[in-house]
Amino acid sequence: MLRGSQVVSVVGATGLVGSEIARLLLLRGFPLSGLILFASGKNPERTVCLAGREVPVRPFALDALRGTDLCFLAAGGEFSRRNAEAIAALGVTVIDNSSAFRMDSRVPLVVPEVNADDLSENSGLIANPNCSTIQMVLALAPLHREWRLRRVIVSTYQAVTGAGLMAAGELARQSDAILRGKAVSGKVFPHPIAFNALPHIDKFDSQGWTREEKKMRDETKKIMGDSSIEVIATAVRVPVFRGHSEAVHAEFMRDVDLDRARLVLSRSPGIELLDDPANNIYPMPIDCAGLDITLVGRLRRDPTSDRAICMWIVSDNLRKGAALNAVQIAERLV
């Protein structure tokens, strides 16, 4: 655990997640005695706008992290694999946003509302889970405590910002081109994303599963601390800028009481129940941008099983799905 004010660094500070982490540290009044921003590449110094001020961004160098108490890594898996352990070896507590160390048994993988206790034993490196996993686990964990989760079948509707800043530009450019009847090109996605749906996020394995789908399965087991939970995911990119949605079918070990599920969810931290379909009220990605909470709605009893329910979970993939969860981990550490 860390005590008092901290010297904090953010690597990847010019990216969507890194800049959001820096903003949230200021916004949430994190006890800072210094905030140092790094770009992941060796690019010339730049600045990012934080709380109305232009704050300089330095090129990353391991030596420059000496004296830092806490370091957020938001520069991708390859960068983390190369540098995270070396940074931790300097005595810096590292919160890594990438997938590089998530399944490492020595590294806690934490959604603070669910398994903050796992932070008590850490060797200076903590992993922030996958965006799609965080919001799903946040909604499932309180129900798991009541009825013990057995199996989840989930289809995702994931926003392009999950693939970074360039992906958002690609969606905007392609959408504009199609509306004007022009040809479409792209670099980030293997096919046009505008007015399309891509059942393809991250790489495929030989069995036809994507890494994203396997992350949702493996990370859920680890965060919930129950390897018997099964997650069968189909991860799909949709033309949405911000906010991941998930259609979830959850099967438990015991009969589920839907009213009790509503009550449990409405009392759970980080969740807002938004479930009044008669009045067209349900979670939507356009309503979650910039929100810290995860929205849950469309709760339904599975008509074929008393042990299963359906629901619809929406969250800001850059906030709770990435930056906010990382900052909340840091808040638990101080």
Q: Which residues bind its own copies (CB under 8 A)?
A: 151, 153, 155, 157, 171-172, 175-176, 179, 190-192, 195-200, 204, 207-210, 230, 232, 234, 236, 238-241, 245, 247, 249, 275, 277-278, 280, 282-286, 297-304, 310, 312
* Cα–Cα distance, 294 to 244 (Å, whole number): 10
Contact (Cβ atoms closer than 8 angstroms) between residue 252 and residue 140: no
Nearest approach in angstroms of CB 172 to its own copies is 6
Nearest CA to 308 out of 182, 147, 86 is that of 147
Nearer to its own copies, 151 or 332 (CB): 151
Nearer to its own copies, 125 or 273 (CB): 273
Nearest approach in angstroms of CB 175 to its own copies is 6
Active-site residue (options: 71, 131, 144, 288) = 131
Nearest approach in angstroms of CB 197 to its own copies is 5
Nearest approach in angstroms of CB 193 to its own copies is 10
Which amino acid, 237?
R
Nearer to its own copies, 146 or 251 (CB): 251
144 is catalytic: no
Nearest approach in angstroms of CB 10 to its own copies is 28
Nearest CA to 327 out of 42, 160, 112 is that of 112
244 is catalytic: yes
Q: 85 vs 55, 79, 88, 185, 265, CA distance in Å?
A: 27, 11, 5, 39, 37
Nearer to its own copies, 59 or 169 (CB): 169
* Cα–Cα distance, 17 to 323 (Å, whole number): 6
Provide the H-helix boundaries in the chain.
Answer: 16-27, 77-89, 112-115, 131-147, 165-179, 211-224, 258-266, 285-288, 324-333
Q: b/e string for 246-262 if b means 16 or more Cβ within 10 A? A: bebbbbbeeebeeeebe
Instruction: Please name the residues in contact with 189: beta carbons below 8 A apart, sequence gap of 6 or more.
Output: 160, 163, 167, 170, 198, 237
Active-site residue (options: 71, 144, 244, 288) = 244
Nearer to its own copies, 108 or 186 (CB): 186
**Catalytic residue list:** 131, 244
